[in-house]
Structure 1
């Protein structure tokens, strides 16, 4: 049974290394299990390269058959009762730094761990796009203007609008833009990891305005964008949740409020499976509860 599970993981994660991370086995053990399965069957199941593996014709047929068998066994195990569904083990999560710190996500983690005492969390905060399958993560939190095409499963957690924001001192010196096209004459701070760093798009009624942006300050952190705005350096298109405190206390103000920009949606992303493991399901349900699938 172990060899069948190993073979399935290699196919679904696309490499021996990724499967080894998922199963907690060494790459050598993964390779040994697959080789012994091939020897038992008398056929080659996988074509191997230095980076990836692919199914042979026999391997494709065998994968379809054993997947149904393993899924049926999983379903049988799940039917044994709620005691088998207790979230436990280590939940590995990757999430952007700013999103984690400036939404309720970071503050809610102790509450989640208190709720599930048999569970541990390994939260990696980094602002790069992580391949959760290859790097062995159970789940990713991502903020995107639009959902990318993917074999991964996604669940929307919340939505926040973008606002054009700057310090009152900046607008006192350089004036207030009355139309999106006026932004061409302003100092714009660019968050380069967004889906629209070089073009800001605005809508009002039937009118759409696309503004090309090429500012003097380009940065990969929304926190750094916020700091530049508070210093009066310029203005930027930024998720409102990232500057909510500064807007409330008057350090920043919004302009072009009669125009709408693209919304930023926050998703939980996890590998597609017929049966979601309890720890992932528990965390996703918790995030929906805490973040409320609301707007800000």
Structure 2
């Protein structure tokens, strides 16, 4: 049996989570599709897929195996493309996962500029904010501020993000302008559920100060928290990438402007491979370059 074809069948089954769908896509019978997977499992001596009448999923061994095999298959496809076109250029669908707060005009402009320079690359963007399995879900790149790096993945630092507390001018006129962190005690907070669901906000710098506010809305969606702050519902901690236009227009104001607010780095997370697909490599270099995150955003 053709091992290379079997590897391609395995990768397709892992992506589509369906033997019948892969059989239709690759012009095989369901039985032959299953035999290709069994051939690889017999070759490596491990079960790579969990399957029953309704579900197909990778085993832990299967996920680790595909982490190594998938880039080899993608590299082979790129090599074949190069032979056909005499040019190795970025192409295909680039699957990205990133936080909701990055869905702003400045980052949309970055994507637009990259696409104009690389028209054969299309984007599939996940903004759910959930923890993902990059290998099993076929995600090429994840942009994260806070993360736990899984085995087989590496992180590339791109830019720094400042998280500031802001509020609408009309709200500040009603509540008053805080002069110290203590003035925020029991103040209404629009709380990001993954960080400050209990209302406690930590300040940056060496002073180690924090404040305990009163959550009036808790959500994992930064866009909703941002909109509620603009409407005057309460204080909110948001990245400066999100609030820069609002601060410039006066729609929002920085609270305690002399306080040192926390600064975090945004990283690009991707599979640790010797040979990245051209679409991933070129987009990483673009993000780190003069038109990307290092200069296009504050």
Using the size of structure 1 for normalisation, the TM-score is: 0.74
| Partner-residue secondary structure (3-state), 1:216 | strand
Q: 3-state SS of the aligned residue for 1:260?
A: coil
Q: Distance in 2 between matches of 1:258 and 1:99?
A: 26
> CA separation of 1:45/1:120 partners in 2, compared to 1, >3 Å: closer, same or farther?
same
Q: Provide the residue aligned with 1:108 in structure 2.
A: 110
**Number of the residue aligned with 1:190:** 191
Displacement of 1:53 after TM fit? 2.7
Select which of 38, 43, 48 maps to 1:35: 38
Encode CA deviations 1:107-141: one digit per residue, 9 max, x unaligned.
Answer: 23232222123333333443433333222222223
| Counterpart mapping for 1:1-296 below 5 A | 3=3, 17-18=14-15, 25=22, 31-37=34-40, 44-46=45-47, 49-50=50-51, 51-53=57-59, 83=86, 85-102=88-105, 104-142=106-144, 144=145, 146-151=146-151, 152-193=153-194, 195-198=195-198, 199-205=200-206, 207-289=207-289, 290-293=291-294, 296=298
Shift of 1:190: 0.8
Check the 8 A contact 1:16/1:31 in 2, yes or no.
Answer: no
TM-fit CA distance, 1:256: 1.7
Q: Do 1:191 and 1:219's aligned partners in 2 also have CA atoms closer than 8 Å?
A: yes
Could you state the TM-score of these two structures normalised by the residue count of structure 2? 0.74
Q: Measure, in 2, the Cα distance between the counterparts of 1:9 and 1:19.
A: 10
Partners of 2:9 and 2:37 within 8 A in 1: no
> What per-residue deviation string (whole Å, max 9, x for no partner) do you get for residues 217-273 of structure 1?
112322222222222221112112211111111122112222223224322222222
C-alpha deviations, 1:41-79, integer Å up to 9, x for none? Answer: 5x83337645543559xxx9xx7xx97xx69x96xx59x
Q: Give the whole-Å Cα distance in 1 for the aligned partners of 2:182 and 2:220.
A: 25
**Structure 1 residues 2 and 124, CA, compared in 2 at 3 Å: closer, same or farther?**
farther
CA distance change for structure 1 residues 247 and 9 in 2, over 3 Å: closer, same or farther?
farther
Question: Does the residue aligned with 2:137 lie in a helix, a strand or coil?
Answer: coil
- What is the aligned-residue RMSD (CA, Å)? 3.8
Give the unaligned 5+ runs of structure 1. Answer: none
**Do the aligned partners of residues 9 and 133 (structure 1) sit closer, same or farther apart at CA in structure 2, a change above 3 Å counting?**
farther
How many Å separate the matches in 2 of 1:201 and 1:237?
A: 10
Structure 2: tracts of 5 or more residues without a match = 25-29, 52-56
**How far does the alpha carbon of each residue in 1:68-112 deviate from its partner, in whole angstroms, 9 at most, with x for none?**
xx69x96xx59x89945311222222333331224x221232322
In 2, Cα distance between equivalents of 1:235 and 1:257:
14
Q: Does structure 2 conserve the Cα–Cα contact (< 8 Å) formed by 1:239 and 1:264? A: no
